[in-house]
Amino acid sequence: MTALAKPNMTLALAAGAAVVLLAAMALDTKVVRIGSAADVAPGTFSPAAYGHTEFPKVQAAVESRAVDAATLADAIAKDQAAAEKQYGVAADAGPEFSVRFKGRAGSQDSGVYDIAVPGVPDSVHVTVQTGPAIVGTDLRDATGTITFGQFSNQIEYQNAGSALNKEMKKQVVAKIDAAHLTGKTLSVVGVFQLTDPGTWVVTPVRLDVQ
């Protein structure tokens, strides 16, 4: 082998090694979309990841607790304190009630539809919110298992509630034509906070159009 051939072989081997190294790096590289649930530094609270993981748990819990609306309305009217103890979950501004009903959608205001529910007296105004804005922290507070102590600060606690609302919109509201529900029969499972016995603003975890 000539002196000239040795450097050429060394360069070829080095080039081959570099190609193998780059290929290995490419296989070991994870592409993360900016703004996605994975686009968060380790140990940092990710609202998107939290909502994606926790909403199905909240959904299942609300469905398992949900009481027929007519039964619940009657119980609240007879003895609100007893109804809260039997069916409610304690929360800061008032108890959270999981409820299920079927009714006809009436007019709407900013995505909040009036619902006429058979068996529920006219004195109880039932509505269901579909967005675009989902207000409140009913999903976060519905089960009593999500508490402030699980988070680093108040901002994370609030973001957790917002994340659950956003995930509900993705998994529930996005599947229907929420802009055109008036006159249609809706089957709803959801949760509301009882601050006024005459007004139920329900945040759904299931919403089917019939």
Q: Which pLDDT tens digits describe the chain residue by residue (210 residues)? A: 554 445 555 555 555 555 554 555 555 544 545 554 444 456 689 999 999 999 999 999 999 999 999 999 999 999 999 999 999 999 988 999 999 999 999 999 999 999 999 999 999 999 999 999 999 999 999 999 999 999 999 999 999 999 999 999 999 999 999 999 999 999 999 999 999 999 999 999 999 998
Provide the pLDDT for residue 36. 47
Instruction: Quote the tokens at residue 156.
Output: 């994370």
Instruction: Quote the tokens at residue 34.
Output: 């900016």
Q: What angle do CA 98, 102, 104 make, to 5 degrees?
A: 125
**Residue reference for tokens 């105004």:** 125
Provide the pLDDT for residue 44. 82
Provide the pLDDT for residue 93. 85
Provide the pLDDT for residue 51. 97
Alpha-carbon distances of 98 from 28, 126, 190, rounded to whole Å: 46, 13, 6
In a domain, 167, yes or no: yes
- State the DSSP string of 142-153: SSS---GGGSSS
Distance from C-alpha of 47 to C-alpha of 34, rounded to nearest angstrom: 14
Provide the pLDDT for residue 29. 47
C-beta separation of 72 from 200 below 8 A: no
Provide the pLDDT for residue 113. 98
CATH of the domain at 66: 2.40.50.420
C-beta separation of 203 from 138 below 8 A: yes
In a domain, 138, yes or no: yes
In a domain, 2, yes or no: no
- Total domains in the fold of the chain: 1
- For 126, the enclosing helix (H) or strand (E) is strand 125-129
Distance from C-alpha of 53 to C-alpha of 33, rounded to nearest angstrom: 18
- Domain of residue 68: give its range: 47-209
Give counts: helices (H), strands (E), the chain: 6, 7
In a domain, 75, yes or no: yes
Distance from C-alpha of 67 to C-alpha of 87, rounded to nearest angstrom: 8
C-beta separation of 98 from 191 below 8 A: yes
Provide the pLDDT for residue 92. 86
Provide the pLDDT for residue 57. 98
